Amino acid sequence: MAYDNLRLEKGMYRQEGMNFTQVLESLDPSENYRGTALEGTDAFQRQLKRFGIRVKGAGSSTVEKFFRNMDSAVLFPEYISRAVHQGMEENDILPAITATTTVIDAMDYRSIYSEADEESAAPKRVAEGSAIPATRVKTRDHLINLTKRGRMLVASYEAVRFQKLDLFSVMLRQIGSYIQKMQLADAVDVMINGDGNDNKAEVLQVGHSPITGTTGTLGYDQLVEFWGQFDPYTMNGMLCNSAMMTKMLKIPELQNPLTGLNFQGTGKLSTPLGAQLHRTACIPDGMIIGIDSRYALEQVRAGDVLVEYDKLIDRQLERAAITSVSGFGKICDGAVKVLKV
């Protein structure tokens, strides 16, 4: 088959507009394997099979097997990238709180926003012959800041050559988890403080109108009043840290049997307000962030997970950087609000 005869080289990582797997797919399309034993595999997985490399399971190969020849060594950076990406996806709440993800090939990005005055934004009939209300779409004044997050892989080839890939993948997933947590902290910072375009979140304080109650306490009434501030948006997500989530779990209205069964069975807690609760340590104590995830946040990524493929292919693992460049921008300012308890 075609995958047995491909010549692999470093240049596959340098193709403009394509990642390594996409280059492999262009040379060895997966559609050619329909109805065969390899149906359901992608081009990279077929290359692993070609060289007998098993990256998981009890019979996983050792790191050394990637370096039996030059062709198989070219696969090593992609293996690292996939393992790191898997770690980023584990317990990742970014897809649940971002409305869209934009991938760019530059370090500068200026987002857009819509502008409508209160009169034209109000729903009303358009009389015959009258002007149709307009919504103006404009570019933001300031660029969205993109930040590089990553870790340095520091290990000699001699130290890892005989390690099983199954175990080595755990270390790489841990790197991915770290990158994901840093990106989530960036997203939270933008939700609270804005993206530099004078769009900080509105902050509401318990005990101060329009939120009733006493400062320092949280009850169901305060959550309902917070929810009511989102019109015309809908608060479908709430973010807080562990201490605040514990307080919320003690609210009697959140202790109904259906909520408890859902939390115990899936680990996900839905409030009676219809908002999905997300726990993250990067939110300060005494604070709840409410969002309409359909309109709140845009994630901007400059490519995918980046690895220093030259070093890795040449077995120079010492201080090989694994990074991801991303940033966040607000789409609709009113879709994010902060409640201070």
pLDDT average, residue stretch 315-331 = 89
pLDDT of the residue at 263: 60
pLDDT of the residue at 267: 61
Distance CA 46, CA 237 (A): 40
In this structure, are residues 20 and 54 in contact, taking their beta carbons and an 8 Å threshold?
Answer: no
User: Which residue blocks in 235-289 are alpha helix, DSSP H?
Assistant: 242-249, 257-266
Q: What is the pLDDT of residues 267-291, one digit of tens each?
A: 665 566 888 999 999 999 999 999 9
In this structure, are residues 294 and 331 in contact, taking their beta carbons and an 8 Å threshold?
Answer: no
pLDDT of the residue at 107: 76
pLDDT of the residue at 256: 65
What residues pair up with 300 in beta bridges, in sequence order? Answer: 102, 327
The 10 Å Cβ neighbour count of residue 325 is 19
Which of 332, 163, 337 has the alpha carbon at shortest distance from 239? Answer: 337
Q: What is the pLDDT of residues 115-151, one digit of tens each?
A: 655 555 566 677 777 778 777 787 888 888 899 999 9
DSSP helix/strand/coil, 30? helix
In this structure, are residues 166 and 56 in contact, taking their beta carbons and an 8 Å threshold?
Answer: yes
DSSP helix/strand/coil, 109? coil
pLDDT average, residue stretch 196-201 = 91
pLDDT beyond 70 at 195:
yes
Distance separating the N- and C-terminal Cα atoms of the chain: 64
What pTM does this model have?
0.86
Residues written for the chain:
341
pLDDT average, residue stretch 69-90 = 95
Burial string for 194-211 (b: 16+ CB within 10 Å, else e) reads bbebebbbeebebeeeeb
Q: What is the pLDDT of residues 84-109, one digit of tens each?
A: 999 999 989 999 999 999 998 877 88
Cα-based distances in Å from 120 to 123, 138, 171, 173: 8, 17, 55, 50
